[in-house]
């Protein structure tokens, strides 16, 4: 009988290529392949460089990465407490149904509790009914009264270039 070794661990710098491959697979699944611009170099810099902006957990099956959860801290002014924001969670399709996604979310919840966080939040595409049902089964509640807003690329550059009239910025 073959035993399959499954392990969840913090990502390391040498996982950058695997993380980018998993991000690409996620982008294809979400029909957002054109938006997947991450490179191994950007992952190494932003997750493992002098100022890490995010962290990741890797799920290995027989020492091969088959999924990941990428997250970072946020802060709730109303709660006066930090939280974790789950940017992406992905398990390769051929490894789904084995509890790996649940294990990644459980691991992330444990990290949040250990760090004194009040909540874990994430976004899910509204057409992704299987993921929504999965998240609800774990106790997640949709925040239907909130709309996600985003400024990026050209709009971000335009906003950043606006003059701060009458404002002193130090």
Span 27-61, pLDDT tens digits: 999 999 999 999 999 999 999 999 999 999 999 99
pLDDT for 1? 41
Give domain status of residue 27, yes or no: yes
Cα separation of 115 and 140, whole Å? Answer: 20
| Predicted structure pTM score | 0.91
Give domain status of residue 154, yes or no: no
Cα separation of 86 and 69, whole Å? Answer: 7
Domain count of the chain? 1
- Is the pLDDT at 3 greater than 60? The verdict is no
Give domain status of residue 60, yes or no: yes
Span 73-126, pLDDT tens digits: 999 999 999 999 999 999 999 999 999 999 999 999 999 999 999 999 999 999
The confidence band for 5, taking pLDDT boundaries of 50, 70 and 90, is confident
CATH number at residue 132: 3.40.630.30
Give domain status of residue 170, yes or no: no
Give domain status of residue 150, yes or no: no
- The three-class DSSP label of residue 105 is helix
Domain that holds residue 125: 6-141
In sequence order, the 6+-apart residues with CB closer than 8 A to the CB of 26 are 36, 88, 90
Give domain status of residue 84, yes or no: yes
pLDDT for 166? 77
Give domain status of residue 156, yes or no: no
- Is the pLDDT at 170 greater than 70? The verdict is no
pLDDT for 62? 94
* Residue 114: both structure tokens together: 């250990």
Give domain status of residue 159, yes or no: no
- Residues annotated as catalytic are 135
The confidence band for 4, taking pLDDT boundaries of 50, 70 and 90, is confident
Distances (CA, A) of 2 to 5, 83, 94: 10, 40, 17
* Residue 38: both structure tokens together: 């991450």
Write b or e for each residue in 149-165: b if 16 or more Cβ atoms lie within 10 A of its Cβ, otherwise e: eeeeeeeeeeeeeeeee
- Contact of 57 with 11, CB cutoff 8 Å: yes
């Amino acid at each position: 009988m073959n035993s399959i070794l499954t392990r969840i661990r913090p990502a390391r710098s040498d996982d950058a290529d695997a993380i980018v491959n998993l991000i690409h697979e996620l982008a294809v699944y979400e029909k957002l392949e054109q938006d997947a611009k991450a490179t191994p170099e950007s992952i190494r810099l932003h997750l493992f460089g002098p100022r890490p902006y995010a962290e990741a957990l890797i799920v290995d099956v027989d020492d091969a990465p088959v999924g990941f959860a990428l997250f970072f801290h946020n802060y709730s002014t109303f709660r006066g407490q930090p939280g974790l924001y789950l940017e992406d969670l992905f398990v390769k399709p051929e490894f789904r149904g084995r509890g790996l996604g649940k294990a990644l979310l459980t691991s992330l919840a444990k990290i949040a509790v250990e760090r004194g966080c009040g909540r874990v939040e994430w976004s899910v595409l509204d057409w992704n009914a299987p993921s929504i049902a999965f998240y609800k089964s774990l106790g997640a509640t949709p925040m239907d009264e909130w709309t996600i807003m985003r400024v990026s690329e050209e709009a971000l550059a335009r906003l950043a270039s606006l003059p701060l009239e009458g404002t002193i910025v130090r």
